[in-house]
Each structure stands twice: as structure tokens, then as C-alpha cells.
Amino acid sequence: MKRKRPSFLIISLIGLFLMSCSRTEVLNHYLVYEAGEGGTISGSVVQTIINGKDGTTVTAVPNSGYLFVSWSDGILTASRTDVKIYDNLRVKASFGAK
């Protein structure tokens, strides 16, 4: 009995499927931390983050005679660790005179 060979179309489709399974897209996002007048940022101010991963901790540090007020996105704590990153983020720390 003669065996049938798989058609070219089926072989091509299987190959395309296997290629798509082995290809992984890694999306990078950027976290950028800035300090307003009256302070500095402690930690890595520019971070490249793989999609869905966490950033590292940064802290807004007021200069002498200033107090930390808030981050531009409303976070009220001077230290922050942004987690599960799915988009770019750029924030600025605000400081006020004592």
C-alpha cells in the first residue's frame, strides 16, 4: 500500500505555526523620575523595564529648607516602586519651602 505524503500547504502551515510559537516579543517601557526645584532623586532616574515587570525604588529627597510635597501623578510618599509596568511613565517630584 502506498503512503500519501502531506501536502505542501499543510507542511507550510505547520512551519508558520512553529515559527510563531518560538518568536517572543519583548516590549520595553521607560520610567523617568525628575526632581523639581528644591530636591533631588535618589535611585535610578531612568529605568528600562520589560513589559509587566517592576521598577526599582526611587526616593524624592528634599534639599535643606524644603519638604517633599508629592509626585506629579498624585503619589504622596517620597519613596516609590512602580510595579507591573505596561506603559511608559514620566513623573516629577514637587518640593515646597519649609
DSSP 30-80: EEEEEE-TTEEEES-SEEEEETT-----EEEEEPTTEEEEEETTS--SSEE
4 within some domain? no
- Domain hosting 63: range is 28-97
Locate 56 and state its grid cell: 526599582
- Residue 11, domain member (yes or no): no
pLDDT for the residue numbered 13: 56
Residue 78 located in a structural domain: yes
pLDDT for 12 = 59
Q: Which residues of the chain have pLDDT under 50?
A: 22
In a domain, 56, yes or no: yes
